[in-house]
Amino acid sequence: MSNTILVTGGSGFIGSHCILQLLAAGHQVRTTVRSLNREGDVRAMLKQGGAEPGDRLSFIAADLENDAGWPEAVAGCDYVLHVASPFPARVPKHEDELIVPAREGALRVLRASRNAGVKRVVLTSSFAAIGYGQKPQQQPFNETNWTDPNAADMLPYAKSKTLAERAAWDFIAKEGGKLELSVVNPVGVFGPVLGPDYSTSILFVQRMMDGAVPGCPKLYFGAVDVRDVADLHLRAMTEPAAKGERFVAVAGDFVSVLDIAKILKRRMGEAAKRVPTRELPNWLVRVAALRDPAVKQILPELGKRKNATNEKAKRLLGWAPRSSEESIVATAESLVRLGLLKDSAKKAA
C-alpha cells in the first residue's frame, strides 16, 4: 500500500537512505531541507543510490529552529521519519548549539504531525541517549537504559540526543493525542555514502584512510550499516508492535578503532596503505587533546568497553542487520568510488 511519508533532513546520510528505501517500497516521499537549493544535491545522491524518483519526491524548506514550513511539510502525510538533527564534527562553543535545535526541532515536528493527523512519527535518536554517563556494566546496554545528561563528563552531542528523546516521549504522553511514536537508537553509522554529505563516523574512516590519524586510540563503539538503519526505520513506521517502543540499531559486538584499522588493511589493499595500526597509549591522546578540541571530545570514552544488544529489534520487528565488517568495508569502497579520499581525488583530477 502506497503512503505519503515525510523524511526530515533528506540531504543527510541516514535521511537519503531512508528516502531510497521508501521509494523502492512504492511510497510518495516528501523531504525537508534547510534550503531548496539542496534539491539538486539530494537528487544526485539518490541517483548514486540507483533511484530516479521524478515527481514521487517533493521538497519543502524547513528548519529545526523555526516554525515556518512545518505545517506544509506534514500536511497529508501518513507517517513521518524525523531524521534531521545537528551532529557537527567540531565541538560547539556552547552545548545549547546542539541541545536547542535537537529538542525544539523534535517538538516542532511532533506538534505539526499531531495537528495534521499523522499516524506515527519515527524519531532518529542515538545510542548516545542510552549508554553514556553511567558506571561501566558487564551486560550489554538495551532500550531500558538511559544516558544521564547530568554526568560530569557528558558530551554535548550525547546530552542533546538524550534531552531531545526525553522531550519527545514526554510530549506523546501529555499532548500527543492519537499520534504514535517509535524511536530508533543507532550506534556509529557506517555503510555506502552517496555523496560528500555524510556522518561523523564516516569522516572518521575517511581520516584513517587519508593518513590524517597518527594511530588508534583505545576507543570502543558499535557499528551498524546505514542501509539497515533505514530498514529499521521503515519497520518501526508500520509495524504495530513498534508503537511506543525504542530500538537499538547495532550490528553486533562493539569494535575498537584498532579492529576497524585491521578490517580496512585486510579488505581494502592499496587504498588502505595510510591506515595506522599502532594503538596509542591513553596519555598520548590526552596530550594531543590539549591542542585539538576534537580529540578532547573522546577523552571521557577512552578505554571504556561497552556493548549493546539488538535482540529487541530482531524479536519484535524481524530485523536482520549486516555485519560490522561489511558496513565498514562498504564505507571504504564508497569513499574510493566517489573520489572522496586524497589519493582517489588526485587520480580523478
Q: Which residues are catalytic?
A: 161
Q: Which three cell numbers stand for residue 144?
A: 531500558
Q: Which three cell numbers stand for residue 69?
A: 514550513
- Say how far apart CA 165 and CA 171 lie, in whole Å: 10
Phi, psi of 58 (to 5 degrees): -130, 160
- Say how far apart CA 154 and CA 57 lie, in whole Å: 39
H helix or E strand, kind and range, residue 253? none
Cα dihedral across residues 211, 212, 217, 222: positive or negative: negative
Give the three-state DSSP class for 310. Answer: coil
DSSP secondary structure of 24-53 = HTT-EEEEEESSGGGHHHHHHHHHHTT---
Phi, psi of 183 (to 5 degrees): -130, 135
Give me the residue label for grid cell 508492535.
Answer: 241
- Say how far apart CA 32 and CA 177 lie, in whole Å: 24
- The candidate with the shortest Cα–Cα distance to 141, out of 322, 308, 255, is 308
- DSSP category for residue 141: B
- Say how far apart CA 159 and CA 97 lie, in whole Å: 11
Question: Cβ atoms within 10 A of the Cβ of 278, count?
Answer: 10
**Torsion (CA) 334, 339, 340, 343 in degrees, nearest 10:** 120
- Say how far apart CA 158 and CA 164 lie, in whole Å: 10
Phi, psi of 224 (to 5 degrees): -150, 145
